Amino acid sequence: MILALLRRDLARFFPFTGSGAALPVVFFVAVAMLFPFAVGPDANLMAKTGGGVVWIAALLAAILPLEKLVARDIELGFFDQLRLRGLAEEAMMAVRLLAHWLSFGPPLLLATFPAAALLKIEGETFRLLLAGLLAGTPGLAAIGLMIAALTASLRAGAALSGLLLIPLALPILIFGAGALARQDAASLGFVGAISLALVAITPFAAGAAIRAAREG
């Protein structure tokens, strides 16, 4: 049942097969492309600030898919039907988290290659950026899913989720982008730790939110 659910969720959210799911990646590359136009093609300036821009783009790209992550399946009665078949909400959300990350993390990492080229990020900085995004995107996906589940039953949920994600994602951004400024891989450990903690609590928080939305 879990595998069938994962296949379905992936088909829903994966770029180019799901509906409009490529948008976050396109958005991510677009930001990286626009930045040199806005600040001018100074290679030094770009090498210094480019990594931070990529992180901000990644964070904002994480907001885009939130709207349809949970709310549509609640409206559809999808989670109710799974519940009747004995599947716990926590398991549904764990599967959804995995599917969400797979459809958002790896494509973003791939898109980092052209983005880094546009921003003149090279060598050690590029490696730190890639490692940081690899460690940070599961955390971003977890925050996103948690917020999407919590706001699913609210009318202005979509607008609210963007506002909620930004402060919660700050620690990941600070340590992730901070590693680039100091050229120090140690703070990526913090990014990984934050991500792990978020990934661990998200299925429970989101599952409880789904149950609470039913009672409403």
Partner 1 sequence: MQASAPSLTADNLACRRGERLLFRRLSFRLGAGEARHVMGANGAGKTTLIRAVAGLTTPYAGTVTRDGALALLDERTGLDPDLPLGRALAFWAGIDRVGGLALESCCDRLGLGNLLDVPVRYLSTGQKKRAALARVLGQGAKVWLLDEPLSGLDTASQSLVSALVREHCGGGGIALIASHQPLDVPGMTSFAIEDFAPAEAEEKEQA
Query: Residues in the site for partner 1, rule: CB under 8 A?
Result: 1, 4-5, 8, 12, 19, 75-78, 80-85, 214-215
Least spacing, CB of residue 91 vs partner 1, in Å: 13
**CB closer to partner 1 out of 89 and 187:** 89
Least spacing, CB of residue 8 vs partner 1, in Å: 6
In 3D space, the residue among 146, 190, 184, 151 whose CA is nearest the CA of residue 171 turns out to be 190
Least spacing, CB of residue 199 vs partner 1, in Å: 25
Least spacing, CB of residue 70 vs partner 1, in Å: 15
DSSP per-residue codes, 159-186: HHHHHHHHHHHHHHHHHHHHHHHHT-TH
**CB closer to partner 1 out of 31 and 213:** 213
At 30, which amino acid appears?
A
Report the distance separating Cα 77 and Cα 80, nearest Å: 5
Phi, psi of 201 (to 5 degrees): -90, -20
**CB closer to partner 1 out of 38 and 84:** 84
User: Six-digit token pair at 202?
Assistant: 């998200």
**CB closer to partner 1 out of 47 and 208:** 208
| Count of other CB atoms within 10 angstroms of residue 91 | 16
